[in-house]
Amino acid sequence: MKRLQNARRIVVKIGSAILVDDATGSVRRQWLQGLAADVKALRNDGSDVLVVSSGAIALGRRVLGIGSRRMSLEQSQAAAAVGQIKLARYYEEVLEPHNVKTGQVLLTLDDSLNRRRYLNSRSTLVTLLREGVVPIVNENDTVATDEIRFGDNDRLAAQVAVMTGADLLVLLSDVDGFYDKDPRRHSGARRLDRIEHIGSELEASAGGQGTASSKGGMVTKLMAARTATQAGCAMLIAKGDIDRPISKLRSGAACTLFLPSGDPQTARKHWINSLKLKGMVAIDDGACRALARGKSLLPAGVESVSGSFCKGDAVKIVDPRGEALGVGLTRYSKDEAKRIMGCKSSEITVKLGSPPQSALVHADDMVRWKSALSRHRCR
Ligand code: GLU
């Protein structure tokens, strides 16, 4: 499986059903040790690895003596609080012998919707990876009530993949891929090898929710696939409840591959949106109108620059009233931008002594915040 070998950054999602033994309510240690060896092998190949693992509630309910009884929301949250400690410790225990450090990251859906928190979470995850740590991520179940109702670590994993610019998301499941019909009910169901487009037909074949202990069925997997692929990240659904599932995948085990559908441009914009902003560029009304029409930002329309940025850094673009209109990658450093702001393209060569890049922020390198820009359309 080339994609696995070539991936630079991989998110592996592990569901409760494969990690926790349903009968005993405890972790399948041997399986987890195999997974740790797989993670080590991926890292030896040069890939960054992030693990998104469910299992907190399944482990916690046992400790609290809840057994298989239906839980209230509060009980689920309490079970998650108890189980999460264990969950993180298990990962630490199995990865430590491989000299792999682990860090626990608990996120909520909100962390990916709120921009500041998104950037914070992203930079923590990226810093952990840079430090050689394998982040063990789960939803912050004790506070994320929606997640507990829907059980959505598939979507969380996709968001982690987008957030960290991963190029591959692997959902380890109790089935070996996505089928055209529910394989538990239709003997003639056919596994799809590759999926290029997620349309309504596919959604219809996704069927209902998952098993008792894993709440995410094919529906949430498809949602995850949509999020990941639109951001340029491939996704695999593969059988996880077998020994060394990832090494089996590497040697060609069956799976379903969702190809990244997002045009590179969309993926790039996701990426730009998630970069740390190094400065600010204030533009005049004429430039605001040009941006609202989808044009590039030319030096002529720049009124002031601030911060400390180099060529290629992400900057915030604001209108004359200081309202943010978007972000983009600047083609000039701050010093250069200062010298050429307000200048026409022909004057730039004289000022900088080199042929100009006509745009300060090219339209392809810009993420527009449409609602803010719409106010400039007819001004
Ligand atoms: N976050 C939940 C847990 O750790 C599981 C949610 C899911 O199965 O998707 O128990």
Predicted pLDDT at 165 = 84
pLDDT at 276: 82
Q: What is the rounded distance in angstroms from the CA atom of residue 369 to the CA atom of residue 292? A: 9
Q: What per-residue confidence (pLDDT) applies to 264?
A: 57
Residue 24 has pLDDT above 70, yes or no: yes
Residue nearest to atom 1 of ligand 1 (CA): 54
Average pLDDT over residues 108-114: 70
Of residues 77 and 217, more confidence is placed in 77
- Count other Cβ atoms within 10 Å, centred on residue 216: 27
Model confidence at 146, in pLDDT bands (50, 70, 90)?
low
Q: With CA atoms as reference, report the closest residue to 236 among 216, 219, 253.
A: 253
Distances in whole angstroms, Cα of residue 150 to Cα of each of 159, 175, 210, 307: 16, 20, 11, 43
Our answer on whether the CB atom of 214 is closer than 6 Å to any ligand 1 atom is yes
Dist. CA 345–CA 339, nearest whole Å: 12
Identify the bridge partners of residue 277 per DSSP, sorted by sequence position: 314
Q: What is the pLDDT of residue 211?
A: 42
| Binding site membership of 56 for ligand 1 (Cβ less than 6 Å) | yes
Q: Given a cut of 70, is residue 379 above it in pLDDT?
A: no
List pLDDT tens digits, range 353-375. Answer: 766 567 899 887 899 887 778 87
Give the pLDDT of residue 104: 98
Q: Does the pLDDT of residue 280 top 60, yes or no?
A: yes
Atom of ligand 1 nearest to the CA of 16: 8
The DSSP H or E segment spanning 145 is helix 145-150
Q: How far is the CA of 154 from the centre of ligand 1 (A)?
A: 9
Q: How confident is the model at residue 262 (pLDDT cuts 50, 70, 90)?
A: low
- The one-letter code for the residue type at 299 is P
Of residues 1 and 41, more confidently modeled: 41
For residues 181 and 41, which has the higher predicted lDDT (pLDDT)? 41
Percent of the chain predicted with pLDDT > 90:
55
CB of 16 shorter than 6 A to ligand 1: yes
Q: What is the mean pLDDT of the chain?
A: 87
Dump pLDDT digits (tens) for 221-244: 998 998 899 888 999 999 999 999
pLDDT for residue 340 is more than 50: yes
141 lines ligand 1 (CB under 6 A): yes
pLDDT at 86: 96
Question: Residue 214 above 60 pLDDT?
Answer: no
Q: Is the CB of 139 under 6 A from ligand 1?
A: yes
Q: How confident is the model at residue 267 (pLDDT cuts 50, 70, 90)?
A: low
Above 60 in pLDDT, residue 333? yes
Q: Which of 90, 42, 70 is nearest to 250 (CA)?
A: 42
pLDDT band of 160, cuts 50, 70, 90: very high
pLDDT of residue 237: 96
Averaged pLDDT, 11-23? 94
The CA 233 to ligand 1 mean position distance, Å, reads 22
Q: Could you give the CA distance from residue 153 to residue 171 in angstroms, rounded to a whole number?
A: 10
Binning pLDDT at 50, 70 and 90, where does residue 112 land? low
Using the predicted structure, report yes or no on whether residue 179 has a pLDDT greater than 50. yes
Q: Going by CA atoms, what residue is nearest to atom 2 of ligand 1?
A: 54
Mean pLDDT of the 257-279 span: 79
Q: How confident is the model at residue 217 (pLDDT cuts 50, 70, 90)?
A: confident
